[in-house]
Amino acid sequence: MVHYQYIPKKIARIQFALLSPDEIRNMSATKIITADTYDDDGFPIDMGLMDPRLGVIEPGLKCKTCGRKVDECPGHFGHIDLAMPVIHEGYTKMIKEMLSATCRACGKIKLTEERQEKVNNKIAKIGKISENPFLFLSLTSKVRGDSISVGQCPYCGEESKKISLDKPTTYREEGHKLTPKEIRERLERIPDDHLVFLGINPKVARPEWMILTSLPVPPVTVRPSITLESGDRSEDDLTHKLVDVLRINQRLQENRDSGAPQLIVEDLWELLQYHITTYFDNQTSGIPPARHRSGRPLKTLAQRLKGKEGRFRSNLSGKRVNFSARTVISPDPYISINEVGVPKPIAMELSVPMRINEYNFEQVKEFVMKGPENHPGANYVIRPDGQRLRITDRNKETLLERLQVGYIVERHLMDGDIVLFNRQPSLHRMSMMGHEVRVMGGKTFRLNLPNCPPYNADFDGDEMNLHCIQGEEARAEAKIIMRVQEQILSPRFGGPVIGAIHDHISGNFILTHGMQMFPSDEAYHLLTKTSYGGALPEPDVIGYNGTPLWSGKSIFSLIMPDGITMEYNSSIYNPADDAEHNFDSLVRIEVNEEGHSKLLSGPIDEVSVGAFKGKLLEKIVRDFGSDRGRQFLDDATRLAINAISLIGFSTGIDEEDIPEEAKLQISDRLDEAERKVDIYVQKYNSKQLEPHPGRTLKETLEVEAMRELGRARDGAGQIASKYLGLKNSAVLMARSGARGSMLNLSQMSGSIGQQAVRGQRISRGYQGRTLPHFKPNDLGAAAKGFVKSCYKKGLRPTEYFFHSMGGREGLVDTAVRTSRSGYMQRRLINALEDLKVLLDREVRNTIGVVVQFRYGEDGIDPARSIRSDAVDYEDIVKTAMREVS
Amino acid sequence: MPRFNVFENHMVPRHSLATEEETAAILEKFKIIKTQLPKMLIIDPCVKALSQQHKKEGKEQIQLGDVIRIDRESPTAGVYHYYRLVIEDKPIY
């Protein structure tokens, strides 16, 4: 149990205040007067924007204010004295409220003394404001609102005038423009003891400080200039903006002092206001953003903090890391799912720290001897005093002599190291898993295919990130918690997210479907890449010339762990057929006399080993552990690859050819549907159609037409599939669940069917019709987007157009969905990120408040649960029954 | 005054006032102080409805700092007891 009362550190108080002009001058290291930065020799100009007293950015120099070096000196503020006061862009609303809530003549708050006393009493009742800021805020905002609505000053009797704010920084009093100077004078008149009604603590802030008379200049460390390769200096955006401020400030001062016309002074004053406003926020609404010479808008103070690229989201919530690599991924079916193939150049750049002890001394010496240029070598030696020495060919002998116990050597990444592997977007915990390194040639990360579903990866150019673990504790966690084999069962539904895909399923299917027989050489060949090392069992049959033969089912049985009894329907099970027809679509696994699991009937397909479905895989992982589960999956996929290569498998569009008679049948079926729709339309036009309850006549027609045409498409598909059996590769893939569906196939050889936009038959386009090819108000099948043709035959021009309309909607939907679910995910993560499950299954947040007294109210880990039950009762009962009989 | 009783909706679990002993037992069991309990606002419709029910039955009123016990029925956990501390209504900014 953690005792949350004893939190080591706690922020006691945060004080928000305004900087006064005096404070700005006091904390300033120097006053800035010249807009220039460096002189011709490249030295910073005194009292310029790059004054050496503002801090150091060049290595080797010492700060003129504090005497420290780069990275030690935090930088020091300077200041600019403004010739005329300027409004601070961030306080415009507050300034308006304060002007409106106080008297324009005497500056007092427009409330009677009794009311003031009442408010003061209420505030006293609240007690410490810091403990109840919300109560205080709601009180003062009400007081302010009341004061604004008072029309006459209760003290001096002055009539109030309406103040309006012209965005962003111009105030008007009944049309008359108020200068920042006038506003400042008014705010100065507000007495200290009236400030509390405005929600201001007079101890830390005065309202007139919202009007700037001097501007703090941030240290050079905040706005470092960069020297380009050409030797030219390039200044930070903030420096550029400050140059503008200084220049206009100077001109304003000169013009004012020399008694220039009021108009010119006012223009310059406004220009100064513009520059200072954009210095704070270059996206202030109502004014054009200040731009760089190239036309790029400047990134000023607000832009540095705001949004996805701002300081918070980009530098504080997320950071760039060392010891990581990124490259394109490509498949490798012969590495384990636990592994990742790492190109040698990457393995030689990433390193693992090894602390020398007496047991690994010799091993480490070998790494240092090999140096950074040969593979299992080392890049750096770190002395116990923290000094980092790069290993080179020239110094490796001397380094080798100096090596001692306690030194740390950064050796290359090697086979068997645990690394983290990640593909963005990282939407669930399986997006970042622990893999074992396998150093390989080439330039891509190699990934085994069953890992594609959890990462949602394919190989059309996807890149992935790899992070090399630097600490023992992290390494242990990655190995025990994050390893791929520990993630096979998903916490989302308790089934496998990692499993066979595509060819793994086709391969296992053709191996185990029906009575495929193999002579001993082929049988052994199939098993070569698997972990099965034993001999073949008794042959299933003896061939006509005396050769012993083994069935695919027997061969598959060899890779299963002993002691499995299961019975379930495979993906080719057809509930409409009788038991005899379904004989080989029922998967039965039983234990034979020798105690080995044996596949008695049924093909191994998606329902057995596939990702998201695989029942057999799930059972093995659950009953025999993740180690055996991983081994089984590796074996099953390799066996499938061998089988599919041995037997051969391919498909082409001509496989979807169907005989002429079938085409006629399909065409008849579609014509019939069209006629039926025409009858509905006729009925509709003559108002004889019976409306469905709750629907209009038009809606009824649409529903009936959609249903009829949908049925017609399915009918066409059924006719077509009568001529396409399991001998057809595409059908095999669809039925076994490897790829594609029967719908895809019926669209290729039957009919594509109704196209829809927003769930309705297509009805947009011209007045009364979708395309000029149809008569106005034609409600028939073809005119509303029914595609009669199949992909094989090709679409008619109008059909093609409708098909594109439907296709476009699909694309737009996915684009909209991803961005919206991304934002939803962000909000969810921000809300849940500090929750933690304690050892006794409570859920608490970081401050120790209980969220759930028991995790998920039932304390069940969904990844280990069976259909949300902690124990698989059904399986226990079945096992017990078997043991009894 | 609520126009309808939220407790009549079948989706709303049973709410009741936790006794002193019950609260103390929970705090002891989880080694927490009262403010570490999950919270609910005093203006929560369920608190209001419970207050009204208490009034009708002549029991004590719900006050700030009271702990409400919620019995949630769940297909996997049977009945799950949840405890919430009644806190004052804060304006939401």
Q: Which residues contact A364 (CB under 8 A, 6 or more apart)?
A: A354, A356, A378, A403, A409, A411
Out of A190, A209, A228, a domain closes at A209
**A53 or A138: which leads in pLDDT:** A53
What whole-number distance in Å separates Cα of residue A788 and Cα of residue A747? 10
- CATH (domain of B60): 3.90.940.20
Q: Which of A368, A370, A374, A369 is nearest to A347 (CA)?
A: A374
Number of Cβ within a 10 Å radius of residue A187: 19
> pLDDT tens digits, residue range A260-318?
888 898 989 999 999 999 999 988 888 888 888 888 898 999 999 988 888 988 888 88
> Quick check: A857 and B72 CB within 8 A?
yes
Per-residue confidence at A634, pLDDT binned at 50, 70, 90? very high
B1 Cβ under 8 Å from any chain A Cβ: no
Q: Is A434 a domain residue?
A: no
What whole-number distance in Å separates Cα of residue A178 and Cα of residue A866? 73
Report pLDDT for A130.
66
Both A640 and A514 in one domain: the answer is yes
Both A631 and A736 in one domain: the answer is no
Report pLDDT for A440.
95
* Chain B residues within 8 A of A6 when measuring between CB atoms: none
* Chain B residues within 8 A of A131 when measuring between CB atoms: none
Backbone angles phi and psi of A324, in degrees to 5: -135, 160
Q: What distance lies between CA A503 and its chain's CA centroid? A: 30
H helix or E strand, kind and range, residue A477: helix A472-477
Per-residue pLDDT averaged across A49-71, rounded?
A: 83
Q: Is B33 a domain residue?
A: yes
* Chain B nearest-CA residue for A847: B36
Residue A16 has pLDDT above 70, yes or no: yes
Name the DSSP letter for residue A197.
G
Q: A785: phi > 0 → left, psi -120 to 50 → alpha, else beta; which?
A: left
What whole-number distance in Å separates Cα of residue A30 and Cα of residue B37? 54
Per-residue pLDDT averaged across A160-177, rounded?
A: 85
> pLDDT tens digits, residue range A283-292?
888 888 888 8
Number of domains in chain A: 4
Per-residue pLDDT averaged across A758-778, rounded?
A: 89
Q: Is A735 a domain residue?
A: yes
> Quick check: B32 and A869 CB within 8 A?
no
Which residue in the block uniquely carries the two structure tokens 């042959």? Answer: A539
> Quick check: A858 and B38 CB within 8 A?
no
Determine the 3-state secondary structure of A780 from DSSP.
coil
User: Half-sphere exposure of residue A178, counting CA atoms within 13 Å on the CB side?
Assistant: 26
Tokens of A281: 């926020």
Report pLDDT for B92.
45
Per-residue confidence at A522, pLDDT binned at 50, 70, 90? very high
Tokens of A276: 């200072």
Per-residue confidence at A2, pLDDT binned at 50, 70, 90? very low
Both A196 and A236 in one domain: the answer is no
Both A640 and A703 in one domain: the answer is no
Q: Is A558 a domain residue?
A: yes
> pLDDT tens digits, residue range A467-504?
999 999 999 999 999 999 999 999 988 889 999 999 99
Q: Which domain holds residue A778?
A: 653-812
CA distances from A233 to A43, A149, A613, A859 (A): 12, 56, 62, 62
Q: Which residues contact A802 (CB under 8 A, 6 or more apart)?
A: A755, A762, A770, A785, A787
Per-residue confidence at A447, pLDDT binned at 50, 70, 90? very high
B34 Cβ under 8 Å from any chain A Cβ: no
> Quick check: B31 and A1 CB within 8 A?
yes
- Which residue spans within A332-417 are E strands per DSSP? 339-343, 351-355, 378-382, 388-390, 408-412
Q: Which residues contact A768 (CB under 8 A, 6 or more apart)?
A: A776, A777
Which residue in the block uniquely carries the two structure tokens 């203006």? Answer: B43
By Cβ distance, the residue of B36, B90, B93 closest to A4 is B36
Per-residue pLDDT averaged across A804-813, rounded?
A: 92
Out of A647, A680, A699, a domain closes at A647
H helix or E strand, kind and range, residue B41: strand B39-41
In angstroms, what separates the C-alpha of A868 from chain B's closest C-alpha? Answer: 7
Tokens of A653: 């569009």
Name the DSSP letter for residue A601.
E
- Terminal-residue alpha carbon distance, chain B: 25
- Which residue spans within A206-364 are E strands per DSSP? 211-217, 226-227, 233-234, 324-331, 339-343, 351-355
Number of domains in chain B: 1
What whole-number distance in Å separates Cα of residue A185 and Cα of residue A95? 12
> pLDDT tens digits, residue range A380-403?
999 998 889 999 888 888 888 888
What whole-number distance in Å separates Cα of residue A519 and Cα of residue A528? 15
In angstroms, what separates the C-alpha of B52 from chain A's closest C-alpha? Answer: 27
> pLDDT tens digits, residue range A669-707?
999 888 888 888 888 888 888 888 888 888 888 888 888
Are A175 and A166 in contact by the 8 Å Cβ rule? The answer is no
> pLDDT tens digits, residue range B16-62?
999 999 999 999 999 988 888 898 888 888 998 998 888 888 888 88
B79 Cβ under 8 Å from any chain A Cβ: no
Per-residue confidence at A324, pLDDT binned at 50, 70, 90? very high
What whole-number distance in Å separates Cα of residue A765 and Cα of residue A778? 13
Residue A4 has pLDDT above 70, yes or no: no
Report pLDDT for A174.
85
Both A140 and A67 in one domain: the answer is no
* Chain B nearest-CA residue for A868: B76
Residue A75 has pLDDT above 50, yes or no: yes
CA distances from A479 to A232, A325, A418, A435 (A): 51, 20, 7, 8
Q: Is A856 a domain residue?
A: no
Q: Which domain holds residue B43?
A: 11-87
Both A731 and A755 in one domain: the answer is yes
> Considering chain A, what is the average pLDDT of its residues?
88
Tokens of A804: 């594109």
Per-residue confidence at A408, pLDDT binned at 50, 70, 90? very high
Determine the 3-state secondary structure of A548 from DSSP.
strand
The segment with the largest mean pLDDT, out of A199-203, A580-584, A804-808, is A804-808
DSSP lists the bridge partners of residue B67 as B85
Out of A795, A812, A829, a domain closes at A812
Per-residue pLDDT averaged across A349-373, rounded?
A: 92
> pLDDT tens digits, residue range A128-145?
766 667 778 888 888 888
Residue A8 has pLDDT above 70, yes or no: no
